[in-house]
Each structure stands twice: as C-alpha cells, then as structure tokens.
Amino acid sequence: MARWYALANRIWGASAALPLAACGGGAQSALAPNGVQAERVALLFWVMTIGSGIILLAVTLVTALAICGPARWRRWLGRDGIVIGGGIVFPVITLTALLGYGFVLTSINDPPSASGEPVKIAVVGERWWWRVIYRDVAGRRIESANELRMPVGRPIEIELTSADVIHSFWAPKLAGKLDMIPGRKNVLTLTAKETGLSRGQCAEYCGGAHALMSFYVLVMTQPEFEQWLAREAGSAKAPTEPEAQQGMTLFAASGCGACHTIRGTSANGVIGPDLTHVGGRLSLGAASLPNDEAAYARWIKDNQRIKPGNLMPPYGIFSESELAALSRYLANLR
C-alpha cells in the first residue's frame, strides 16, 4: 500500500512543480490508456488524427499542383469528375465511414467476462466532490469519497448520478466522459488492464470550484481490493494516542458530526464526505490537497480560500494545538 502513497506524492510533487507534467506523465492522459474502453477512445483518436493528417497532406499537394503544376495536370484537375469526386463523393464516404466506426466503437456492449460479475460502484457528483458508494458481497453500503478503488481485469459498473447540478465523470486513462445529470442514472462500464494510480476530473463546468473537483483512481489486484474493501467497511478505530483522543473529543464537541459521518462514533452527518477512513485516502478536498496533517489543519481553517464556495464553513475557532489534535485524529483514521 505504501507504494501508492509514494506514487500519489510523486504526482503531487510533479503537478506542483509543472502542471503540464501530469499530462505528459500520463496520470490523467487519454493517450496513455489503461482500460478496454479508454483504448478504444485512443484508437479512434489515432485513426482520426493519422487519417486526417494524410488527407490534409494530399489536399495540400493537389492544391500546389493546381496552382503551379504543368498545364496538362492543371487541366486534368479542373475536370468536373475530379471536382465532384474529390469535393463531394470522397468526403461523404470518408465521414460516413468514420461516423459509423465511431458509433460501433462507442456502443460495444462488453459481454460479461470470464472474470465474473461486474463490480458495482455508485458515484454521486456533489459541489465539488465525489461521493463514492461501494457494495460488498453481502450488499452492505460502504461510503467513501473522492477516490475510486477497483480490481484489475474485472468489469466495473459505475452508476453516475448528481446531487445538485450537471457534473461529468472523466477518468481519462480508463474511459471516456459520461455526464452526471440530476434526476437521471447513467451507467459507465470500464475494465482496467493494469494495476496503478491515475487521476480523474469533473469535465462539465459545475460552478466556482469546478476545477478543484478531481479524484484518484487506484486499480488494485483482486485480493488487495477485497482486503481494502473489508477494511473500508469497518468502523473507525478509536484513537489510543492522547493527542488524537483530544482531537476526537473536539470533533464531537464542535459539531463536525452534523455534516460528516465517522462510523463507530456519534458523528452521522450526510452533507459532507464520510470520514470514517479519511486518513487512508490519497488526497484531501477532492484531490486539492495532499493527505497529511498539515493539510487537514489548513483545510479546517482555510477551506474557503483553498476551495472557494464549498459548503463547509471555515472553522477559525480552533487554537493551533486544537487544530493539531484534530488533524492528528483525522489523519489516523485509516
């Protein structure tokens, strides 16, 4: 597990140093697919890009000949047949073929694979974060947030809905975009080919902090995933360290549980993200901060500066030591 944190931190470091590095590095690149669906998108992209490149080259060549080529060639190019053939018939055939190919490619229904039933995950778009709900074999609802964990090689069926406005779920390495529309259920099926970490992003403008509505996707081996899900389903462990215990008391006394749930405590709010295992996530604030104690303190106090307009009120009421205690408590909810 530690290697994923190391990788997440490398991505943090890279994206902080050079924002475009994330594209080149492929953590959030549709050109570095890691899934059946994303590969189709990439293939379509390359077919279109290379095909249109060849056509552009040919048209440029013909244009040059028509302007300054030998008189015989120019006469030949000026014939009605060439104009009708190259200007109408060829584009109609090519574009129709491309459209048909695109339709076929994007509407392939993947047959249930040999590796069993699809894993069902529900993702709800909220302003500006992702509510992620897993179901275990017993059908129990396990709520998490802002990252998607999935087993490799198995089809994943993601049910996409929205709690407020239109969002769009986009994990470029795994599949194309699919909108999350209030009052409607969209289902995205995807299959990851390799284990690894990638990043996703809301792809439909959904208000002020839209750009800060991201998430991580972690593809794990089947046993790793099962182990993780079993732990995620459990309640939070009560802290043993005094500072974290103080944090727990503060969390309860300051009304945090009005919006957040920590299973195993009195906190049962449903407005904000479930924090039962928040310390085990790869980021804070929907991939807007790394997951460390300093980031918790910053988020609690300055969340309106980090993510303006988010629903959480700024909590300036804590002293430095209280903030440290709260951060210690939350960071250790793994």
Partner 1 sequence: MALATTRTIAILGSVVIALGVGAFLFAWSGIYNIAASEPHFAITYWLLDFGKRRAVETHSLLAPTAVLDDPNLVALGAGHFHGGCAPCHGAPGEPSNPIIQRMLPRPPDLARVAPTWTPKQLFWIAKHGLKFTGMPAWVAPEREDELWAIVAFLRALPKMDAAEYRRLAKGDAGRPSRGIRELATLGSVADALSRCHRCHETQAAPSPNRLIPKLAGQSQAYLEMSLRNYANGLRPSGIMQPMAAGLDERTLIELAKHYAEHPVIWAEAGIVQSAASNQIERGKRIASTGVPEKGVPPCLACHAGKSAATFPKLDGQHAPYIAGQLRLWRRGLRSRTVHGAIMAAIAPRLSEEQVEDVAAYFESVASTAAAPEPPPAPPLPPRRRR
Q: What is the 8-class DSSP label of residue 288?
A: T
155: CB partners within 8 A, 6+ apart: 110, 112, 113, 115, 118, 119, 189, 190, 191
- Shortest Å distance, C-beta 214 to partner 1: 21
Please calculate the CA angle 204-202-292 and round it to the nearest 5 degrees: 155
Amino acid at 222: Q
Contact between 319 and partner 1 by CB under 8 A: the answer reads no
Contact between 271 and partner 1 by CB under 8 A: the answer reads yes
- Shortest Å distance, C-beta 160 to partner 1: 19
Residues 236-255 that bind partner 1 (CB under 8 A): 250, 252-255
| Cis omega (within 30 of 0) for bond into 46 | no
- Shortest Å distance, C-beta 317 to partner 1: 5
Cβ closest to partner 1, residue 107 vs residue 266 = 266
Q: How far apart are CA 131 and CA 140, in angstroms?
A: 16
User: Judging by beta carbons within 10 Å of its beta carbon (0-12, 13-18, 19+), is residue 100 exposed, middle or buried?
Assistant: exposed
Contact between 315 and partner 1 by CB under 8 A: the answer reads yes
- Shortest Å distance, C-beta 299 to partner 1: 14
Contact between 311 and partner 1 by CB under 8 A: the answer reads yes
Q: Is the dihedral of CA 196, 202, 204, 210 positive or negative?
A: negative
Segment lying near partner 1 (by CB under 8 A), choices 70-78, 130-138, 238-246, 269-277: 269-277
Q: Which of 22, 23, 259, 263 binds partner 1 (CB under 8 A)?
A: 259
Q: How many C-beta neighbours within 10 Å does residue 141 have? A: 10
- Shortest Å distance, C-beta 130 to partner 1: 16
Cβ closest to partner 1, residue 61 vs residue 163 = 163
Contact between 98 and partner 1 by CB under 8 A: the answer reads no
Residues that bind partner 1 (CB under 8 A): 163, 250, 252-255, 257-259, 269-271, 311-317
